[in-house]
Amino acid sequence: MKKLRLALGILAAWSVAVLLGPGLLTSGLTPSSIHTPPQTAADAQHEIAVPPPPFSEDIYPCSACHADMEVNLERRELEDFHDDITLEHDEENRWCMDCHDAENRDILHSASGEPIAFEESYKLCGQCHGPKLRDWRAGIHGRRTGEWNGRKDYLLCAHCHNPHAPRFKSMKPEPAPEKPGKIK
Amino acid sequence: MSIKKTIGSTMKLNRRTFLKASAVASSTAALAACGSKSALDEFLQKNFRFMSKQEIGEVIQRLETQYAQQYGKEISVSAKEALPETFFGYALDISRCIGCRKCVYACVEENNQTQAPQMHWIQVLEMEKEKGIDFMDANLYYQHEEVPHEGHFYLPVQCQQCKNPPCVKSCPVNATWTTKDGIVVVDYNWCIGCRCCMAACPYGARHYNWGQVELDPETINPDTHYLGNRPRYKGAVEKCTFCIQRVREGRYPACVEVCPVGARKFGNLLDPDSEIRYILENKRVLILKEELNTQPKFYYFYGT
Ligand code: SF4
Ligand code: SF4
């Protein structure tokens, strides 16, 4: 009984910690479902679980709109839609179609044209940011929750970094401690 | 203050009140004054390290009853021992920390730190990039609209879990020691509140309970460990325990999980596949005040 209570307590505390975590990760992420296939022998031992990708509301699947549209591969400023996206990610050299797939809008693609699911977008990021991907796989880059000796929950790069403007946003700090002298 | 009042108002007689009491009366008188059996048991309680399994069980039961009365809800006190083959280490990425102080408050909540007066086990220092790590000009009280503040970096400091801990050596009654899994802990019942350890610690990591500890029953964390976050006493010293109540269950410390930039890493130094070992083997790592030979198991590193 006591064990059960403890287990429930831990589960509750854990889910509160995960769900009510910092403001950054607000979109109701549940560390659940998606398990990406292990890439190397070392990875095969611990699968990497990530929550669903952080899509803007009501926008996925992209093909819902794009299926009926003509593909325009010309590099240009977007005016009719997606004009809220300002690219601040090597914008001199890159644009939408370098990562998004023109044939299948619901996926991404690598530099060599291999399809990449949104759930595995870290593979796309890792093409340029190799050392970061290596650290992320090792659990060093990025936030981890779960167990130090067991199951860990990973986040996708895009959960913390907006892929269109990946620089980490500054935030309001929690209040400073009181200065000494208030002791009664 | 009369002995009666001391005892009556707190319903208990511990080693600190006892010392106080003996200043005005003989110890026999003090003992006689405390009518209740549990107060007597508490007074006669041994140092945690020298208790038998059965004695630990009795103490835990007494504490759980006492806390239930005091806070009006069930509070579990674990005495879970160290997991086999574990020796904990911690690493903090100074190239990532943005000084948001989320860890400070997550720690307060997880570990039931009193807020009257305020206590923070984690202290986030702001330093100038130009000067590098420089405690003389560090600012604990920074206030900005947004962090990180231009030209500055942040260095959170908490107990460094020294392998050669001066705090432990300085304690005259052996109320603080290093556990098998490498956590420096305090037996809050055995602590006499002399504050020698606080003077000995070069990192300002130990904190004193100046007032009667009153925690909010609404927000109290009911999952506690005897050597960790159980409610403390006025006059006892406390410090970071790597969240002993969590890590001995296999979980990460609360500060690791809350950090929005993932700057905080924790694991088993004996496990070659652990995150902490990866950092020690692949990153530039430093420890604070290395020249003092305290040998911290809390490492700072540059993840970039
Ligand atoms: S929560 Fe992380 S980023 Fe924020 S102050 Fe603590 S260590 Fe630094
Ligand atoms: S940092 Fe201070 S309190 Fe922690 S082990 Fe070292 S000397 Fe002791």
Q: Does A177 map to a domain?
A: no
State residue A48's pLDDT score.
Answer: 62
Q: Looking at residue B30, what DSSP letter applies? A: H
Per-residue tens of pLDDT for chain B, all 304 residues: 344 334 334 445 666 766 665 555 555 555 555 457 888 999 999 999 999 999 999 999 999 999 999 999 999 999 999 999 999 999 999 999 999 999 999 999 999 999 999 999 999 999 999 999 999 999 999 999 999 999 999 999 999 999 999 999 999 999 999 999 999 999 999 999 999 999 999 999 999 999 999 899 999 999 999 999 999 999 999 999 999 999 999 999 999 999 999 999 999 999 999 999 999 999 999 999 999 999 999 999 999 8
* Residue owning the nearest CA to atom 6 of ligand 2: B162
State residue A28's pLDDT score.
Answer: 36
State residue B36's pLDDT score.
Answer: 76
Atom of ligand 2 nearest to the CA of B176: 8
State residue A59's pLDDT score.
Answer: 86
Q: Does A178 map to a domain?
A: no
State residue A13's pLDDT score.
Answer: 44
Residue A13, chain B, CB below 8 Å: the answer is: yes
Fold of B75-119+157-304: Alpha-Beta Plaits (3.30.70)
- Give the pLDDT band of residue A5 (cuts 50, 70, 90): very low
Q: Does A9 map to a domain?
A: yes
CA torsion sign for A125, A130, A132, A135 is positive
Q: CA of A165, closest CA in chain B: separation in Å?
A: 16
Tell me the best of B122, B183, B186, B239 to mutate to test the pocket of ligand 2, counting ligand atoms within 8 Å of each CB and taking the most. Answer: B239
Which of A6, A141, A183 lies closest to B303 in CB terms? A141
For the Cβ of B158 lying below 6 angstroms from any atom of ligand 2, the answer is no
Beta-strand ranges (E) seen in B47-150 are 76-78, 88-93, 123-128
Distance CA A96, CA A87 (A): 9
- Give the pLDDT band of residue A2 (cuts 50, 70, 90): very low
- Integer angstrom CA distances of residue A17 from A50, B208, B228: 16, 27, 19
Give me the number of domains chain A comprises.
1
Q: Does A31 map to a domain?
A: yes
State residue A32's pLDDT score.
Answer: 36
State residue B35's pLDDT score.
Answer: 54
Report strand pairing: B284-286 vs B298-302: antiparallel
> B34-37 long-range contacts, Cβ below 8 Å, gap at least 24?
B34/B7, B36/B11
Interval A135-183: pLDDT, tens = 999 999 999 999 999 989 999 999 999 999 999 999 999 999 999 876 5
> B163-168 long-range contacts, Cβ below 8 Å, gap at least 24?
B163/B294, B163/B295, B163/B296, B163/B297, B164/B293, B164/B294, B164/B295, B165/B294, B166/B200, B166/B201, B166/B202, B166/B292, B166/B294, B167/B197, B167/B198, B167/B200, B167/B201, B167/B205, B167/B206, B168/B197
Range of the domain at A128: 2-69+77-167
Domain coordinates in residue numbering, chain B: 2-73, 75-119+157-304
Exposed/middle/buried for A95, CB within 10 Å: 0-12, 13-18, 19+?
A: middle
Helix (H, G, I), strand (E, B) or coil at B295: coil
Q: CA of A147, closest CA in chain B: separation in Å?
A: 4
Selected for mutation to probe chain B from A148, A153, A183 (highest B CB count within 10 Å) is A148
Q: CA of B9, closest CA in chain A: separation in Å?
A: 19
- Give the pLDDT band of residue A16 (cuts 50, 70, 90): very low
Atom of ligand 2 nearest to the CA of B160: 1
State residue A29's pLDDT score.
Answer: 40
Distance CA A177, CA B228 (A): 22
Transcribe B227-275 into DSSP letters: TTTS---TT-EE---S-HHHHTTTBPPHHHHH-TT--EEEEETT-TTSH
**Cβ-defined contact of B101 to A173 (cutoff 8 Å):** yes
Residue A41, chain B, CB below 8 Å: the answer is: no
pTM comes to 0.84
Q: Does A111 map to a domain?
A: yes
